[in-house]
Structure 1
Amino acid sequence: MVETALTRQRLIHLLLKLPRECIGLNLDGVARSRIARVILEHLWQLVRNPNAPTNHRKRAQIIMITLVFSGATAVSGAGYLVCGLIGRLRARGFSQKPVIRRTRSQIMLHNGARVMYVPYEENADSKKRILIRPKNDDMYEHDKFLFKYFGKNKTSQVFYSKFISQLSIIYRILVPKIADRNSFLIAFQIFFLVMRTWLSLFVARLDGQIVRDIITGKSRKFLVDLLCWFLIAFPASYTNSAIKFLQRKLSLNFRINLTRYIHDMYLDKRLAFYKLTFDSQASSSVIANIDNSIANDVTKFCDAICSVFANIAKPVIDLVFFSVYLRDNLGSIGIVGIFVNYFITGYLLKRWTPPLGKLVSKRSAAEGDYYNYHLNLINNTEEIAFYHGTKVERTKVNALYDYLMDQMLLVDRVKVNYNILEDYVLKYTWSALGYVFASIPIVITTFTTGVNNEEVNMREFIVNKRLMLSLADAGSRLMHSIKDIAQLTGYTNRIFTLLAVLHRVHASDFNYGAILEDEKDLNVVDDQAPSTEIVRGTVQRSFNGIRLENIDVIIPSKYGKEGTKLVKKLRFQIPPVITLDNANSDSQVNMSQKLTFQGPGSSLLILGPNGCGKTSIQRIIAEIWPIYNKNGLLSVPANSELFCVPQKPYFIQGGTFREQIIYPMSADAFFEGGHRDKELVQILGEVHLDYFLRRGKGWKYLDAIAEWKDVLSGGERQRMNFARIMFHKPRFVVLDEATNAISADMEDYLFNLLRRYRYNFITISQRPSLIKYHDFALEITGDETWRLQDLGTDEVITSIEKEIETLQEKLKNVSAWDEERAALARKLAHI
C-alpha cells in the first residue's frame, strides 16, 4: 500500500511538473478542480500573446489545435449516435402503431416530384422518405443555349481555351448555385487543405527542434517535443482523412447531379433516347456507345475533376505558405530562384507532354465498343447458336479486344519518355537544388559574421530542408497535375459532347438531323436555324380519333423533306368521317364527298410489301417521326387513349410477371390506382394465358421475376400485348404484325375479342386474310401511292370472291399432288 501511494504521488508530481516544462505554467497551490480551467486560460493567453516565449507559444498552439479537433470529433460522434438512437426509437414507435405505411419504391406526384421510400440501416422494415423535386423543362431549354453557342465567337477573344470553356459550362450543372451543398463541400475541402499546410509548417519546425534536442543532448526538452509530436499527429491524421472523405463525397455528389441531369433529358416524354439515332451530328463514339458514356465516362470525369482539384489546390496552397515562410530564411533571391526553376520545369514538361486527352478519349471509345459487342452477344445468344456463328463472333471480339489493348498500351507507351524526364527533373534535380537553396542562409551568415553556430545552423538547415522538400513535393505534384489535366481534358470533351447532343435532341425544335439547303455544300449544321424551315407539319392532340391529312411519309435524315419518300399525301381517319365512292377509292379522292359519322369499333387494315412504309405510319401516329410537309396534319387522341403495339414485344428486364402485364404502368401506380391482382387474373383468362397461374404458385406467380423474353414463346409474347390492351383499355390501338406468331384459331379469337369490346384499331400486316376482321383496308403499293377501300363495298366483295376462287382452283390439284408424293415415297423405299 505504501509503495502504491508513493507511486501515485510521484505520478501526480510529474503531471503537475509537465505544464511548467511544456508551456511555462506553475500549478503549485492550484486546486485540482480548477486545474483544467487554469490550463485552458493559460493556453489561450499564450496563443494570443505574440510576445510570449516562442517555444511555449508553439506548444500552446499545438495543444489548442489538438483539443479543438478532439472536441469536434467527440461532438460529431455524439451527435451521430443521438440521431441514430432517435431514428431507431421512431422506427420502433411507427412499427407499433396500427397504421398502414407505404413500403413501395416511389410515388409520382401530380407536379412531377417523386416521393421515394428507401430502406435504411439493417432493418428492412425501416423506410426513409426522400422527396425529389420535379425537373424543370424550361431549365433544359435555357441550358441548351450554353451548348448551342459554345465557341461561336472564340476568334474575337484574346484568350480562348476549349477545355476551360467546356468545364465552365459543365460546372453549372455540378454546382448549380452558390448555396448548393457542393459549394460548402468545396469550401470545407479548401479549409482542410489550408489546415494541412499549416500543420505541415508546425511539423517542420517541431522536426528541427527534435533533431536539435537529440544532438545537444537535452533529454527533457526532447521528451516534451516528442509529446507535442504525438499531439499534433492527431489533427494531422484527422485532416488527411477529412480531405480524402470530402474528395470522395464531392465526386459522388457531382456524379449524382450530372447523372440526374442526363437522365432527365435522355429518358423523358420527348423520347431523346430514340431520337438520338436521327441526329446527323451524333456519329461520334460517345453517342454510339451512350450506355458506356453514361455509366463509365461520367464516373471517370467526376473522379478526375475532384482529383485534379485536390492535386492543384494543395500544391498551390503549399507553395504560397512555404514561400512566405522560406522568404524570411532564404531571402527574396532564393524564392525567385525557386519559382524560376518551377517555370522552366513547367515549360519543359508541357512541351514534352504527350496528347493524353486524345489518347484517353480513344481508349474510352474502344472500351465502349468492346463492351457493346459483348452486350450484343448476350442479347442474341440464341440466334448466334442457331447459326453456329461462334467462329465469326470470336474473330470480331478478338479484333475489338486487340484494338482496346493497343489503345491502352499506346497510352502507357507514350508516357515512357515523359516519365523519364519527369522523374529526373522532379526527383533528382529539384532535390539537389533544394540542398543548394537550404544552405544559402547558413553560408551567408557564416561568411558575413565569421561565426559558425552549429546548433542553430543545424536546426535552421533541418527546418529549411524539410520545407524545401515539401515545397519540391508541392511543385512536383503541380507538375504531375499537367498529366492529370490532359486526361481530364479527354473526359471533359466526351461529357460535353454527350450533353451537347442531348440538348440538341431534347430541344422542342429538334429537326431530326436535317441540313438546310444553303448549308449542304458547306457540310455544316446551323443550330440557329428555325425548325419551321425543316419540320413544318401540324400535330393536333386530344382528338376524338386518329386522322392523317396530306401527310408525306418520309424517312428522317439529314436531307429533311428531300429524303426517301415512302408514301405521298396519305389521308385516312379512324373512326371514319369520309364515305368513299367506289370510283374514287384511290389517292385522288375528292374531299367534297358526302361526310358521315361512324360509331366506335371501327378498324383499318394497312397492307403492303416489306419496306413500303407500313410501320412508318405507326411511327408518325406515335409522334416519333416528324411531318415535313407544311400542309400535313396529324390528329391523335390523348396519350391515355392510344396504345401502339410494336412488331417486337418488349419486356422489362428483371421485372415481375405483373409488371409485364401492366407495362408501361409501374407497380406503384398499379396499386395506387386501386387495381388488384384479380383484374389481371381475369385478363389472363381472356387471352388464354391463365395457365401460367397453375404452375404451382397460383397468384404468387404474378410476383415471379424472370427474363420473360426468354421464358415466353413468340406466340405468348404477342398474346401478352393483347393482355396489356385489355388492362389499359385504350380507345384506339395500333397493331404492327401483332399476330404473325400466333396460330390461326387463336388469331381469330383475339381479333374477335377486340371487336367484341369495340376497340378502334389499326392493324399493320402483309396478310390479306385479316381483311375479315376490319372495316377498311389501306393498301400501299410501294411506289408512294396508296389505295383506301371500304370493305363493305361491292368492289372489295368481288376481290375477295376472286381470291376464294383462286384458292379453290389450287385445291383441285391436291389429289395430283398426293399421287406425286406417294410416288416419291415408293422410290425412297426402294433406295
Structure 2
Amino acid sequence: MAETSITRQRLGHLLLKFPYECLGLDLSGVARGKYIRVVLEHLWRLIRNPNSALNHRKRAQVILITLAFSATTAASGLGYVVYGLISRLRADSFNKRKPIMRRTRSQVMLDNGARVMYVPYEENVNNKKRILIRPKNDDMYEHDKFLFKYFGKNKVSQVFYSKFISQLSIIYRILVPKFTDRNSFLITFQIFFLIMRTWLSLFVARLDGQIVKDIISGKGKKFLVDLLCWFLIAFPASYTNSAIKFLQRKLSLNFRINLTRYIHDMYLDKRLAFYKLTFDSQASSSVIANIDNSITSDVTKFCDAICSVFANIAKPVIDLIFFSVYLRDNLGTIGIGGIFVNYFITGYILKRWTPPLGMLVSKRSAAEGDYYNYHLNLINNTEEIAFYHGTKVERTKVNALYDYLMDQMLLVDRVKINYNILEDYVLKYTWSALGYIFASIPIVVTTITTGVNNEEVNMREFIVNKRLMLSLADAGSRLMHSFKDIAQLTGYTNRIFTLLAVLHRVHSADFNYGAIVDEDKDSKITSGPLTNTETVRGTVQRSFNGIRLENIDVIIPSKHGKEGTKLINKLRFQIPPVITLDNTNSDSQLNISQKLMFQSPGSSMLILGPNGCGKTSIQRIVAEIWPIYNKNGLLSVPGASELFCIPQKPYFIQGGTFREQIIYPMSADTFFDLGHRDKELVHVLGEVKLDYLLKRGKGWQYLDAVAEWKDVLSGGERQRMNFARIMFHKPRFAVLDEATNAISGDMEDYLFNLLKRYRFNFITISQRPSLIKYHDLALEIGGDESWRLQDLGTDEAITSIEKEIETLEDKLENVNTWEEERSALTKKLAHI
C-alpha cells in the first residue's frame, strides 16, 4: 500500500510539473475541478499574446488544434450514432404495425414534377431512406443549348482563347449550378483543409528542426516535450489528409450525380432524344456511336479527373505560397526568385515535351467503347449467331477490336517513356540538388559574414530549410505532374462536351433530323439565322378524334432533308372515315372485365405493300418520331392515351416482372396508384389465350416473377403479349406493324375478331392480303411513291379480292406438279 501511495504521489507530481515544463503554467494550488478551465484559458492567452515564449506559443497551438479536431471528430461520431439510433427506432416502430396489405413504392412523382425515392439501406429491406429529387426544369435545357450551340463562334476576335477552359467553364455550370449549391460548400471545405494541411506541414517542419536541435544540444526534457507535441500534431494532420481524400471522392460523386441526371433528363424524356440521335448527321463521332460508354464510363472518368486535377493543382499552389513566404525570411528575395525561375524553366521544358495525351486518351476511350459495344451486340444476338455458326467471324472481329484497344492503351504508355525520363531527372534529382544549394545559402552567408559557426543553430536552420525546400520541390513537381493530368482531362472534357452538345441539339424542339442546309444560299431570302422551320414544315394536330394524314410526303430523314429519299408521295387517308366531334366514347376509364365496348363501331385499315415501300414509315409518322417535311402536310392524331403503336419487334423490360411486361409502358407504381388490380391482368391474359402462363407459378404469384421474358416467351407468345397490352390500356386507336406474322392462322383469326368485338379502331401493316377480311379499308403502297386507298365494301374492292383468290387458286393447281419435281430431285440427291 505504501509503494502504491508513493507511485500515485510521483505521478501527480509529474502531471503538475508537465504543464509548467511544456507551457509555463503552474497548477499548484489550483483545485482539480478547475484544471481544464485554467489550462484552456492559459492556452488561449499564449496564442493571442505575441510576447509569450515562442516554444510555449507553438506548443499551445499544437494542443489547441489537437483538441479542436478531437472534439469535432467526437461530435461527428456522436451525431452519426444518434441519427442511426433514431432511424432504427423509427423503422422498428413502423415494422411493429404489421399492416395486412402494405406496398412500399420505389418512387412517387409529386405534383410539381419532383420525385420521392425510397432506397433500401443496410441489410433489412424494410429500412428505406427517403430521397427527394428536384423537379426537372425544361426551360433550363432550352437556355443551356445556346451555350453549346454557339460555342467558339467568336473565338477569333478574342485576345486569349482556350478551347479546354471554355468547355470546362460551360460544363462547370452543370456541376455547380449555383453559388449556394452543396458542391460549393464541399469545394470550400476542401480548400480549407488544403490550407490547413499546408499550415500543419509548415508547423511540422519547424517542429522537426526543433527536435533535431534538442538532440544535438542534449536537452532531454525539451526533446521529450517536443516529441509529445509531435505525437499530438499527428492526429489533426492525419485527420486533415483523410478529410481531403473523403471530400475529393464525395465531390466526384456529386459531380457525377449532377452530370448524369442532366444527361438522363435530356436523353430519356418525351422528346425521344435517345431515338433521334441516330438521325443527327453531325453526331458521327465515337462519343455518340458508343453513347452507352460515354454516359457510364466517360462521365465517371471525367468527374474523377477534374476533382483529382483540382486537388493536384490547389495543394501545390497553396504550398508554394505558404512555403515561399516562410522561406523568404531565411533565403531572401534572391533565393525565392531563383526557385521560381527554376520552376518556370522546368515548366516550359516539360510543356514543350508533353505528348498529346488528350487526343490519345480520347482515342483510347473510343476504342474501349467499340470493344464494349461489340460484346453487348454478341450478348443480344447469341441465338442468331449460334444458328449461323458465326463463331469464327465474331472471334475475328472481337480480336481485331481488342488488338486495336491494346494498341491504343500501349500507345499512351509508350509516348510517356521519354517524358517520364525527363520528368524524373528534372523533378526528382535536379530539384533535390538545387534544394540543397538553396538551403545552404543562408548558413554559408551567415558563417562568412560573422565568422562564427554555430552548429546547433545552423543544423536547426538547415533541417527546417531542407524540409521546406523538399516540400516546396514536391509541390512544384506535383504541379508539373499535373500537366499530364490536365492533358488527360482535356480529352475527357472534349468527349463530355461533345455528348452534351449533341444532346442539346437533338433535344431541341427545332431539331431538323440532321438536315444540312446551305445557310449562305438561303441567307438572301431569310436575311437571318437559319431555323428548323425551313427544313421541317409540316403541321401536327393533336387531340383529334381519329387519325388523319393530309398530303404527307413520306421521306426518310437524312442530311438531305426534304430532298432525301421519298417513299410515298402526297399520302392521304383518315380513320375513321367519318369524324364525329363527340369524344365521350373513350373507354379509358372503364374496366375491361365488365365486357364494355366502344359505343361506336370501330374502323380498321390494312396497309399492304412490298418490303421497303414505306409501310412502317407511315407508323413512324403517326407516332411522331419521323418529321413531316412538306409545308402543306398535316398529321392529326388523338391524345397520347388514345393511341397505341405496336412495333414489329415486341419489346420487354430487362429484369422486369411479368406484370410489368403486360402493363408496359405503365409503371408498377402507377398501376397500383390508379387502383388497378391483378385480376384485370388475369382477365386480359384469358382474352388473348395466355392465361396458361400463370400455371407455371403458384397462381397469380407468377405476375411477380422476374425473368428475361424475351427469351422465356416464344415468338407467338411475345406477339400475343402486344395484344394483351392493347386490351389492358384500351386505346381507341392502335397501329399494328406485322403483329401476327409469328402467330398461327386460327389464333390470328381470333385476335383480329377480338379487336373488332371490342370495337377498337386499328391500322394493320402487313404483306399478307389474307388479312383483308378483318378490315374495312385497304391502302396499297407501290414501289414508285404511288398508293391506292379503297373501301373493302365497294365493287372494286370485291373484284380485287376475287382476283387475289383466283391467283391463289391458280397457284394451288400447280401443287401436284411441284410435288413431282420435288420427288425427282430427292431421288437424284439420294443417288449422289
Q: Taking structure 2 as the reference length, what is the TM-score of the superposition?
A: 0.95
What amino acid is aligned across from residue 42 of structure 1 in structure 2? H
Q: Deviations over 1:602-651 (max 9, x none)?
A: 00100110000000000000000000000000000000000000000001
Aligned mates of 2:505, 2:17 — CA distance in 1? 75
Q: Which residue of 2 aligns with 1:327?
A: 328
Aligned mates of 1:179, 1:730 — CA distance in 2? 47
Q: Which residue of 1 aligns with 2:93?
A: 93
Q: Which residue of 2 aligns with 1:673?
A: 674
Post-superposition offset of 1:810: 3.5
Give the direction of change, closer, same or farther, for the CA distance of 1:203–1:538 in structure 2 (3 Å limit). same
Post-superposition offset of 1:809: 3.4
Give the direction of change, closer, same or farther, for the CA distance of 1:825–1:377 in structure 2 (3 Å limit). closer
What amino acid is aligned across from residue 40 of structure 1 in structure 2? L
Q: Which residue of 2 aligns with 1:47?
A: 47
Moved more, 465-474 or 33-42: 33-42
Equivalenced residue count is 810
Aligned mates of 1:527, 1:24 — CA distance in 2? 81
Alpha-carbon contact 1:103-1:127 (below 8 Å) kept: no
Aligned mates of 1:436, 1:816 — CA distance in 2? 105
Pairing 1:665-814 to 2, within 5 Å after superposition: 665-814=666-815
Aligned mates of 2:171, 2:114 — CA distance in 1? 24
Q: Which residue of 2 aligns with 1:125?
A: 126
Pairing 1:43-442 to 2, within 5 Å after superposition: 43-97=43-97, 102-442=103-443
Q: Deviations over 1:696-723 (max 9, x none)?
A: 4221111111111111111111011000
Q: Which residue of 2 aligns with 1:591?
A: none
Aligned mates of 2:609, 2:738 — CA distance in 1? 12
Give the direction of change, closer, same or farther, for the CA distance of 1:625–1:821 in structure 2 (3 Å limit). closer
Give the direction of change, closer, same or farther, for the CA distance of 1:683–1:25 in structure 2 (3 Å limit). same
Aligned mates of 2:627, 2:829 — CA distance in 1? 60
Aligned mates of 1:801, 1:33 — CA distance in 2? 112
Aligned mates of 1:550, 1:174 — CA distance in 2? 47
Give the direction of change, closer, same or farther, for the CA distance of 1:366–1:817 in structure 2 (3 Å limit). closer
Q: Could you say what secondary structure the match of 1:281 adopts?
A: coil
Aligned mates of 1:399, 1:825 — CA distance in 2? 43
Aligned mates of 1:823, 1:403 — CA distance in 2? 53
Post-superposition offset of 1:8: 1.0
Q: Which residue of 2 aligns with 1:448?
A: 449
Aligned mates of 1:326, 1:85 — CA distance in 2? 51
Alpha-carbon contact 1:148-1:527 (below 8 Å) kept: no
Q: Deviations over 1:759-784 (max 9, x none)?
A: 00000011111100000000011111
What amino acid is aligned across from residue 195 of structure 1 in structure 2? M
Aligned mates of 2:134, 2:430 — CA distance in 1? 56
Q: Deviations over 1:435-489 (max 9, x none)?
A: 0110111111111111111110000000000000000000000000011000000
Post-superposition offset of 1:83: 1.2
Q: Deviations over 1:296-321 (max 9, x none)?
A: 00000000000000000000000000
What amino acid is aligned across from residue 604 of structure 1 in structure 2? M
Post-superposition offset of 1:126: 1.7
Aligned mates of 1:80, 1:755 — CA distance in 2? 64
Give the direction of change, closer, same or farther, for the CA distance of 1:231–1:816 in structure 2 (3 Å limit). closer
Aligned mates of 1:166, 1:394 — CA distance in 2? 39
Alpha-carbon contact 1:607-1:779 (below 8 Å) kept: yes
Aligned mates of 1:623, 1:53 — CA distance in 2? 82
Is 1:7 the counterpart of 2:10? The answer is no
Alpha-carbon contact 2:516-2:561 (below 8 Å) kept: yes
Pairing 1:485-524 to 2, within 5 Å after superposition: 485-518=486-519
Q: Deviations over 1:704-748 (max 9, x none)?
A: 111111111111110110000001000000000000111111111
Q: Could you say what secondary structure the match of 2:740 adopts?
A: coil
Give the direction of change, closer, same or farther, for the CA distance of 1:820–1:437 in structure 2 (3 Å limit). closer
Aligned mates of 1:254, 1:160 — CA distance in 2? 25
Give the direction of change, closer, same or farther, for the CA distance of 1:825–1:327 in structure 2 (3 Å limit). closer
Is 1:33 the counterpart of 2:33? The answer is yes
Post-superposition offset of 1:97: 3.7
Q: Deviations over 1:168-209 (max 9, x none)?
A: 000000000000000000000000000000000110000001
Alpha-carbon contact 1:549-1:572 (below 8 Å) kept: yes
Moved more, 125-134 or 785-794: 125-134
What amino acid is aligned across from residue 121 of structure 1 in structure 2? E
Aligned mates of 1:744, 1:532 — CA distance in 2? 47
What amino acid is aligned across from residue 8 of structure 1 in structure 2? R
Post-superposition offset of 1:821: 6.2
Pairing 1:533-682 to 2, within 5 Å after superposition: 533-577=534-578, 599-682=600-683
What amino acid is aligned across from residue 178 of structure 1 in structure 2? F
Q: What RMSD in Å do the two structures reach over aligned CA positions? A: 1.9
Q: Which residue of 1 aligns with 2:593?
A: none
Q: Could you say what secondary structure the match of 1:30 adopts?
A: coil
Post-superposition offset of 1:578: 9.2
Give the direction of change, closer, same or farther, for the CA distance of 1:247–1:6 in structure 2 (3 Å limit). same
Alpha-carbon contact 1:601-1:758 (below 8 Å) kept: yes
Q: Could you say what secondary structure the match of 1:409 adopts?
A: helix
Post-superposition offset of 1:803: 2.1
Q: Which residue of 2 aligns with 1:466?
A: 467
Aligned mates of 2:274, 2:786 — CA distance in 1? 32
What amino acid is aligned across from residue 751 of structure 2 in structure 1? L
Moved more, 326-335 or 126-135: 126-135
Alpha-carbon contact 1:575-1:600 (below 8 Å) kept: no
Moved more, 215-224 or 267-276: 215-224
Q: Could you say what secondary structure the match of 2:778 adopts?
A: strand
Give the direction of change, closer, same or farther, for the CA distance of 1:818–1:261 in structure 2 (3 Å limit). closer
Aligned mates of 1:117, 1:87 — CA distance in 2? 14
Aligned mates of 1:196, 1:218 — CA distance in 2? 29
What amino acid is aligned across from residue 370 of structure 2 in structure 1? D
Give the direction of change, closer, same or farther, for the CA distance of 1:519–1:105 in structure 2 (3 Å limit). farther
Is 1:22 the counterpart of 2:13? The answer is no
Post-superposition offset of 1:217: 1.3
Give the direction of change, closer, same or farther, for the CA distance of 1:751–1:57 in structure 2 (3 Å limit). same
Post-superposition offset of 1:815: 4.9
**Unaligned runs of at least 5 residues, structure 1:** 580-597
Q: Deviations over 1:73-126 (max 9, x none)?
A: 111111111111111122222223466765121122343221211112332112
Aligned mates of 1:815, 1:628 — CA distance in 2? 52
Aligned mates of 1:827, 1:281 — CA distance in 2? 58
Post-superposition offset of 1:825: 7.6
Pairing 1:814-829 to 2, within 5 Å after superposition: 814-815=815-816
Q: Which residue of 2 aligns with 1:582?
A: none
Q: Could you say what secondary structure the match of 1:572 adopts?
A: strand
Q: Among the aligned pairs, what percent are the same residue?
A: 86
Alpha-carbon contact 2:600-2:759 (below 8 Å) kept: no
Aligned mates of 2:661, 2:697 — CA distance in 1? 20
Q: Could you say what secondary structure the match of 1:787 adopts?
A: strand
Post-superposition offset of 1:577: 3.1
What amino acid is aligned across from residue 36 of structure 2 in structure 1? A
Aligned mates of 1:47, 1:527 — CA distance in 2? 69
What amino acid is aligned across from residue 365 of structure 2 in structure 1? S
